[in-house]
Amino acid sequence: MLTNRQLQILQVIVDDFVTSAQPVGSRQISKKEGITFSPATIRNEMADLEELGFLEKTHTSSGRVPSEKGYRFYVDHLLQPQIITNGEVEQIHSIFERQMLETEQVIRESANILSELTTYTTILLGPDVQKHKVKKFQIVPLTGQTAVAIIVTDNGHVENRLLTLPPGFSPSDIEKMVNILNERLTGVSLHEFHLKLETEALAVLKQHVHAAEAVIESLLSVNNQQSEGKVYYGGKTNMLNQPEFHDLNKVRMLMDLMEKESQVQSLFAPGKSGVQIRIGSENNHLAMENCSVITASFLLGNEQQGSIAIIGPTRMDYQRVVTLLEVMSQGLSRVFMKNNDGL
């Protein structure tokens, strides 16, 4: 168990290092407000804290730097809700008040504002498209052999896919097919929709429409690699300002990582609920060894769920980010509760 004094010192060190990015020395700590004991005492305590694994040195005669364990402890026990200025809260709320119908735009703006306020990078994950319910299915023929299949979901998302039609597939075939599918599959989730296309629906279709298999196959062929929720970025280049990313190699790894949507999905998916913090190696990814990710999820109407992630260096202003994230995610949830349109 840590003594009060140790807690106090750990807190000061983290707070100081977060803003200065420089190892913190005993003298410097002693001058901080609320510190009543001498540098020598602090040195002793720091030695203990280091032994316990909360602090590290960059070299034998440097000041101390929080270790991952140190950050973890700080985040778990020392985090105090921080006051953010009214101006900032207003800035966030202003997005919601501008009555923009398009969810997508709200999301984009949110990502931008968050990265502006935090100076870190924001990733916004839309809800898992696969969970949306199918509202309407449609096929629009283009030429003799090609057509577009369109699926509209209950919250306004539109999926579309090009099809090749088998030779001799007539407009009335299309109509029959569309009718059957709408009749049977409206209201199921996109995920189920695709499943049932291959099984039940296909069986029925075969009886009524010639060459239905070919169309269904064409319809399914592209699906696998695609989607889950959409990904939006804010302040992608912000990390270039952080001193820890003066190393081009790290920058490259991170950038590459962010290009791969599938990886982003898994890395930045929110934990259960509320605000979650993953520090450095807790992210289980080489490129993220010096990064922390703070995620929060928000609701989009009926059980849909999106999430916001802020990526910064492990030396990150956790307090501030957590507070901002809470304000933002609550705001988003509220907005999407009202006009339940989704994205």
The residues that touch a second copy, with contacts defined as CB under 8 A, are 101-103, 105, 135-136, 138, 140, 142-143, 146, 148, 150, 152, 154-156, 158, 160-164, 218, 221-222, 236-237, 240-241, 246, 248, 251-252, 255-256, 259, 339-341
What's the rounded Cα separation, in Å, for the pair 109 and 88? 14
Give the SS3 label for residue 202. helix
User: Which of 1, 19, 33, 59 contacts DNA by CB under 7 A?
Assistant: 59
Q: Residue 219 CB, nearest distance to a second copy (Å)?
A: 11
- Binding of DNA by 39 (CB under 7 A): yes
Q: Residue 6 CB, nearest distance to DNA (Å)?
A: 11
Q: Which of 73, 26, 30 is nearest to 46 (CA)?
A: 26
Q: Identify the H or E element spanning 128.
A: none
Q: Residue 241 CB, nearest distance to DNA (Å)?
A: 19
Which residue pairs, CB below 8 angstroms and at least 24 apart, start in 209-216? Answer: 209/173, 209/176, 209/177, 209/180, 210/168, 210/169, 210/173, 211/166, 211/168, 211/169, 211/173, 212/177, 214/165, 214/166, 214/169, 215/163, 215/165, 215/166, 215/169, 215/177
- Binding of DNA by 170 (CB under 7 A): no
Q: Which is nearer to a second copy, 158 or 203 (CB)?
A: 158
- Binding of DNA by 63 (CB under 7 A): yes
Q: Residue 7 CB, nearest distance to a second copy (Å)?
A: 37
Q: Residue 95 CB, nearest distance to a second copy (Å)?
A: 16
- Binding of DNA by 66 (CB under 7 A): no
Query: In degrees, to the nearest 5, what angle opens at C-alpha 185 toward C-alphas 181 and 190?
Result: 115
Q: Residue 75 CB, nearest distance to a second copy (Å)?
A: 29
CB 313 within 8 A of CB 244: yes
- Binding of DNA by 174 (CB under 7 A): no
Q: 217: number of CA atoms within 13 Å, CB side?
A: 8
Q: Which of 268, 303, 273 is nearest to 287 (CA)?
A: 268
Q: Residue 7 CB, nearest distance to DNA (Å)?
A: 14
- H-only helix segments in 227-271: 248-259, 261-268
Residue 166 binds what, of a second copy, DNA, none (CB under 5 to 8 Å, by partner type)? none
Among the candidate windows 24-32, 129-137, 161-169, 176-184, which touches DNA by CB under 7 A?
24-32
Total of residues contacting DNA (CB under 7 A) = 27
Residue 27 binds what, of a second copy, DNA, none (CB under 5 to 8 Å, by partner type)? DNA
What's the rounded Cα separation, in Å, for the pair 149 and 138? 6
Residues that bind DNA (CB under 7 A): 5, 22-28, 36-41, 43-44, 46-47, 50, 57-64
